[in-house]
Amino acid sequence: MLSGEVSERGGSQYRERMELLERTTDIPDPLTPYLAVDRSRPRHECWVTGHMVAGLDGTAAINGRVGALSTAPDQVLFRRMRQIADVVLVGAETIRREGYAPIQLPDDVQAHRRAQGRSSNPPVVVVSRSLDLDWSGRVFTEASPDARTHVLTCATADPDRLAEAERAATVIVAGHSSVEPEAAMQALADRGHRVVLCEGGPRWLGELVAADRLDELLLSVSPLMGGDLLPVSVAPPGAGIAQFELKSTLVEDHTLFLRYEAARTVGGAARTEDGTA
């Protein structure tokens, strides 16, 4: 892959100067810039990284699935990024459509994690209000005891489904009538999960963004257009504008890999008349 470091821009002030990100530095391992990020000092309860892929038109799915959007280098990076995670967080609709399995990292990575006192593999954490999930699915039945799949749900969940969920997974209730991102991240942090990798989907990611809980976004831009009318993040009603700063770029096989970190959240009142922050 070819990389470009993005220089600091001195706060949010616009300097009327553009920079050409040239294809200058060939890096042997694309994971290097991602592993170098210090995620030990999160702004809130834990560090939350979103990892998403979009088409050039911003689409997040093709015919309800993400696979056709993802190029070969994106698929490799997507799998490998899981090694940074204490947990892999996913919205229920993504689990239903994509048919998740437990995360299985390569043996050497598992050994390295164990040596650091971490679980061999990060557990999957599913967010669901309805608890309308297939409990016979691999993500529940094939998870190892040290990486048992978790379900994040809310207090008003159906009691029968809740009982079913408790048989198949570790259940965390975080919120009354919906899972509240702040309570959910606190509950994960209380269990020692400090680095949360959110793999979507767009609706759950939008809730994290609206609650100012997204610290980092890894966005792969795939060289195609024409997918579903679904952006990579769906803002819930009333959400403010969240701002991010570009930290690094990589490119391979016509796919652009962007790494952003949260700058600050700008609510509606802070916006100027022309819509800029």
Ligand X SMILES: NC(=O)c1ccc[n+]([C@@H]2O[C@H](COP(=O)([O-])OP(=O)(O)OC[C@H]3O[C@@H](n4cnc5c(N)ncnc54)[C@H](OP(=O)(O)O)[C@@H]3O)[C@@H](O)[C@H]2O)c1
- Encoded tokens for 109: 């990575």
Which among 52, 65, 86 is positioned nearest to 214, based on CA atoms?
52
**265-268 contacts, C-beta under 8 A, 24 or more apart:** 265/212, 265/240, 265/241, 266/240, 266/241, 266/242, 267/240, 267/241, 268/240, 268/241
Interaction between residue 202 and ligand X (CB under 6 A): yes
253 binds ligand X (CB under 6 A): no
Q: Is 168 in the site for ligand X (CB under 6 A)?
A: no
Token pair of 154 as six digits: 């809310």
Tokens of 167: 């048989």
| Of positions 209, 232, 242, 262, contacts ligand X by CB under 6 A | 232
Of 72 and 111, the one with the shorter C-beta distance to ligand X is 72
Residues 22-61, one symbol each (x = binds ligand X by CB under 6 A, - = not), give ------------------------------xx------xx
- Residue 66 tokens read as 């993400």
Nearest residue to ligand X, by Cβ distance, number only: 201
Told to check if 186 binds ligand X by CB under 6 A, we report no
Asked if 216 touches ligand X (CB under 6 A), the answer is no
Decide: is 97 part of the binding site for ligand X (CB under 6 A).
yes
Question: Do residues 72 and 78 make contact, with C-beta atoms less than 8 angstroms apart?
Answer: no
Which pair of structure tokens corresponds to residue 248? 């690094």
- Tell me the number of residues near ligand X by CB under 6 A: 32
Residues in touch with ligand X (CB under 6 A) = 52-53, 60-61, 64-66, 69, 91-94, 97-98, 127-130, 132, 154, 178-179, 199-204, 207, 230, 232, 234
